[in-house]
Amino acid sequence: MFRPVFQAANTIETLLMDFRRIAKLSEQELQGRRVLVRVNFNVPTENGALSDDLCIRAALPTIQYLQQNDARVILLSDFGPESPKRNAQHSMEIPAMRLAELLESGEVFLTDACVGDGARSVISSLREGQVCVLENVAFHEGEVRGDDKLAKELASFADIFVNDALSKSHLARASTDGVARHMRICAAGLQLEKELNAFEMLLGNIERPYVAVLGAQRFAEVLPLMESLLLRANVLILGGAMAATFAAARGMEVGNAPIERGRLPLARDFMTRAETRGVQLLLPQDYAVAQAQGTNNTDNCAAGAMNPQMQPVDIGTESIRRIREVVTKSGTVFWCGLMSLDGRKDSSLSIARAIAGASAFSVVAGDVATQIVRDADLEKGFNHVSMGGLAALQMLEGKALPGIAALMK
């Protein structure tokens, strides 16, 4: 159930109206009801053990709210690769055990499969406030192809369907939009509600100036997002190797940076349209240049003073200073992506600290940028740290996501 990419202002308004049609968990009568919750428990592991429980913790408010309101809670997730090959390494036993440790009740039931008589028996025996986790839905071959039979059987387990996994909502799957199509009552979980509220702010009437900071290695990674932001932002700040392509399109010397030669006409066209719309497009003024191959030592070099043999690895000190200054004066800031060219995080961390210290409404999205914020313990400095991954970026592009659109009744 896909919709086209939205870019025009009137279609953005339609998307915002759609957000407001989604029912909230707090509006539902939950006592005694069987509630099927699509969560994202796709946790990272090392040597078969869980190494990060962030996504489990993110789902706790929804799970605990359901328990407190005497619902019978059924959790549905994939884990590991989307492959129907069943294996112990990707059994939901790993996240289910951690969930049991985090819940006050200390009790979580695990089914032998995501559907079938065994799963139905466990669900039937649940008492109010109890929680069960269905076995990895990716083990079922019907999940990836959005099999309607699988979706219908999953839906038959519950009275209410709750989606609390934005990061899976851009995928048309049996466990996302498929289930929702067969449910009379659907609602957003508390984590998803937070995500929708934050992106509604970014797509709606924002405080200006609106500054978007985008880092990417390749043009194609963020082009749809850039097109959307061109209609919304006042300032676009570019970093990563992508920014070198834009600099080259302006005739600047960027040393031995990876330039997408075939994208130069596209970059020139984008810059022309930004100028026409009055959007300020900021490129790096200087770079941190590697002193020698294989070392982390760098020299700072102005963009106009570089020669073709120089290897830029990150944006320079003056570029960072200017970004910090622009962010400090902003009303709204959105940040996604690394600003460096080689994966180092120095400049991105400086920018994260600047955003966290600013008074602007701030949102960070994308796996790399959000991890930098969390590792530096800067979450409290942001209004929203998205867990939506690619789905969050697509939503900001103006796309209607299958798993979100299906919640609208």
Can you give the residue ranges of every domain in the chain? 21-192, 205-397
Residue 175 has what DSSP assignment? I
Q: Which of 40, 48, 36 is nearest to 94 (CA)?
A: 48
How confident is residue 255, by pLDDT bands cut at 50, 70 and 90?
A: confident
| Stretch 371-389: mean pLDDT | 97
Provide the CATH number for the domain formed by 21-192 in this structure.
3.40.50.1260
pLDDT tens for residues 312-350? 999 999 999 999 999 999 999 999 999 999 999 999 999
**Superfamily of 205-397 according to CATH:** Phosphoglycerate kinase, N-terminal domain (3.40.50.1260)
Q: In this structure, what is the dihedral angle of CA atoms 247, 251, 252, 256, given to the nearest 10 degrees?
A: 80
Write out pLDDT tens, residues 279-309.
Answer: 999 999 999 998 866 667 888 988 878 888 8
Q: What does the pLDDT read at residue 295?
A: 67
Query: 10 Å Cβ neighbour count for 269?
Result: 11
The token pair at 46 is 């090392």
Nearest to 112 by CA among 141, 79, 88, 131: 88
Radius of gyration for the alpha carbons in the chain, expressed in angstroms and rounded: 23
Q: How many angstroms separate the CA atoms of 320 and 308, rounded?
A: 23
- Laid out side by side, the sheet with 131-133 consists of 109-110, 131-133, 72-76, 34-38, 160-163, 186-188
- Helices 346-357 + 317-328 axis angle, to 10: 20
Predicted pLDDT at 284: 95
CA distances from 31 to 75, 130, 161, 400 (A): 17, 12, 14, 32
d(CA 37, CA 348): 35
Are both 21-192 and 205-397 of the same fold?
yes
Tokens 């200054």 belong to: 325
Quick one: 242 exposed, middle or buried, by C-beta within 10 A (0-12, 13-18, 19+)? Answer: buried
Q: How confident is the model at residue 398 (pLDDT cuts 50, 70, 90)?
A: confident
Q: Count the Cβ atoms, other than its own, within 10 Å of residue 232.
A: 20
pLDDT band at 14 (very low <50, low <70, confident <90, very high): confident
Measured from the Cβ of residue 273, the count of other Cβ atoms closer than 10 Å reads 13
